[in-house]
A = this chain, B = another copy of it.
Amino acid sequence: MVKKQDVFHSLFNPRSVAVIGASENPLKMGHQCLLSLSGSAFPGPIYPVHPQAQAKEILGMRSYAGLNDVPGEVDLVILAIPASEVIPTLQSCRAKGVRGAVIITAGFREIEDPQGERLQKEMALVASRGGIKIIGPNTFGLVNVHARLNASFTPLFSRLKPGSISLVGQSGGVSHIIAYQAINEGVGLSKVVGLGNRCHVDFADLLPFLEKDPETRCVILFIEGQDDPKDLISAVKKVARKKPVIAMKAGRYEESWKAAQSHTGSMAGRYGLYEASLRQAGALVVQDPGELLDVAKILTILRPPSGRNVAVMSFQAGPGILLTDAIVEHGLRIARFSPPTQEQLNRILPPLTIRTNPVDIAFAQNESLFEGSLKLILNDKNVDALVIFLLHHPFMDLRRVIRPVLRQRQLSKKPVILGVNALHGSIDEEVAELETAGIPVYSLPDRAIRALKGLMVYGEMFKKKGC
């Protein structure tokens, strides 16, 4: 068990990486992999390897004709070579003492030709004998943001910010959708893994590593289908006791299930069964890739509240009404302020404001009035969580909202979520500051409420189990 952990540790934290199939041609995967590694500023040596590349330079890096020619030790290899060369190359990896291999090459189990499946089985055997862990084949690769390791064919992933959410995806395409969203919205990630054909490493193998990984506080799984989901389910069950696991399973209907089946080459089980077993195992199941990241973010920042009663404060009435619509629609409740809170709000807020929940504080853009109401609302026993919404406008000093929210958040254990609608990139610093201080930020009313619902459902799952 300890050894297995060690192997995954080397895979995600290699001291050196070789790219086999390195190329000067930007249209080749081997070229993109080199760009990824150098773009993420990987601190260890990077060795481009290509039979015709001896003593040449590729992208400014000294390159080698074979793995044996590489002067130093190699912990991780990335393979972007024809399928027929993979097994001999793995044998030379074994000789070199390589610990992990990311195999980008396609043309194995996923093809119709039975030769693909045979090759894949042999590949797994060779790797197992050599103590090498294979990610793939037919994968985009893996990323460990904290180790500045972008071992993928997507150089854009070097723009990922470090965070505590790890993503394991059975679909390269969907993993890209989620990781691009993380980049676009500045959500930090820890590890990103594309499982590819899972010849050697599947969800069930990686989950125990992520369970113990101190850089991972929440795990996202995107599942297409498994031959036998039992291992997946029992692995989820173990991790979910320690860390939130959020899962999405594609192929919810007859039509899409068939497509998932032919893609993964496995007997992808019916959606309903997966959903029930994943829930039973303690995973939060969502149905929209955008929601995965929104829910993961809130789970890394906040603890679940004790109930579903939500207070809303907005600086414009319209968004407050949309939040209320979303709260009811998603099965949460609009908190009813206790009489003393309502009485005091009526006293301190000017008559121009709507002082019942949802509170419209449009006319109370005075820092102390806002903070006073914030305090009253957070202290109300009828309130389990608070959502505040505002629009970013140069006219409004955002700090007059942020300061009181940060102060009151320190004094209360209740979740506070901030919705701020803004132009892309215009409030990145403020968002980072708020999220570090325990206040997740969302750009749209519905997204804030869906995330909050995820947090609440997560809390209820574990309350029921008595954890």
Using a CB–CB cutoff of 8 Å, the interface residues on chain A facing chain B are 26-27, 29, 32, 106-107, 110-113, 153-156, 159, 169-177, 180, 183-184, 222, 224, 250-256, 259-260, 262-263, 287-290, 314-322, 324-325, 327-329, 334, 351-352, 354, 356, 358, 360, 363, 391, 393-395, 397, 421-425, 444-446
CA distance A136 to B50 in the complex (A): 70
- Is the CB–CB distance between B259 and A317 below 8 Å? yes
Q: Are A156 and B260 in contact (CB under 8 A)?
A: no
Q: Which residues of B contact A393 (CB under 8 A)?
A: 154, 156, 176
A322 in contact with B253 (CB, 8 Å)? no
Bound form: Cα–Cα A238–B288 in Å: 37
- The majority secondary structure among interface residues of chain A is mixed
Please tell me if the beta carbons of B325 and A253 are within 8 angstroms of each other in the complex.
Answer: yes
Q: A394–B32 contact, CB under 8 A?
A: yes
A111-B351, A318-B224, A351-B112 known; A325-B391 Cβ under 8 A: no
Besides A112-B351, A177-B319, A289-B444, 20 more A-B contacts (Cβ < 8 Å) are: A27-B395, A27-B397, A32-B395, A111-B352, A154-B393, A170-B318, A171-B316, A173-B319, A174-B319, A176-B391, A176-B421, A177-B445, A251-B324, A251-B325, A256-B324, A256-B325, A256-B358, A259-B324, A260-B321, A289-B445
State how many angstroms separate the Cβ of A395 from the closest Cβ of chain B: 5
- Copy total for this chain: 2
The residues of B that contact A259 with a CB separation of less than 8 Å are 317, 320-321, 324, 354, 358, 360
Report the minimal beta-carbon distance from A279 to chain B, rounded to whole angstroms.
Answer: 18
CB nearest neighbor in B for A446: B288
Are B354 and A324 in touch, CB under 8 angstroms? no
Q: How far is the CB of A365 from chain B (nearest CB, A)?
A: 10
Interchain CB contact under 8 A, A444 and B251 = no
Question: With a CB–CB cut-off of 8 A, which chain B residues contact A314?
Answer: 173
Known A-B contacts A289-B444, A424-B184; A325 and B252 likewise in contact (beta carbons under 8 Å): yes
Inter-subunit contact B112/A322 (CB<8 Å): no
Distance in angstroms between the alpha carbons of A106 and B153 in the assembled complex: 55
B-chain residues with CB within 8 Å of residue A317 when the two chains form the complex: 171, 173, 224, 259-260, 263
- Of the candidates B27, B32, B318, B424, the one whose C-beta lies within 8 Å of that of A171 is B318
Q: Which residues of B contact A329 (CB under 8 A)?
A: 252-253
Q: Give the shortest distance, in Å, between A368 (CB) and chain B (any CB).
A: 17
Decide yes or no: A253 and B324 within 8 Å by CB, A173-B316, A173-B319 being known contacts.
Answer: yes
Please determine whether B423 and A334 come into contact, CB atoms closer than 8 angstroms: no
Contacts of A423 in B (CB 8 A): 156, 159, 180, 183-184
CA A328 – CA B256 in complex, angstroms? 8
* B156 and A394 contacting across the interface, CB-CB below 8 Å: yes
- Residues of chain B within 8 A (CB-CB) of A425 are 424
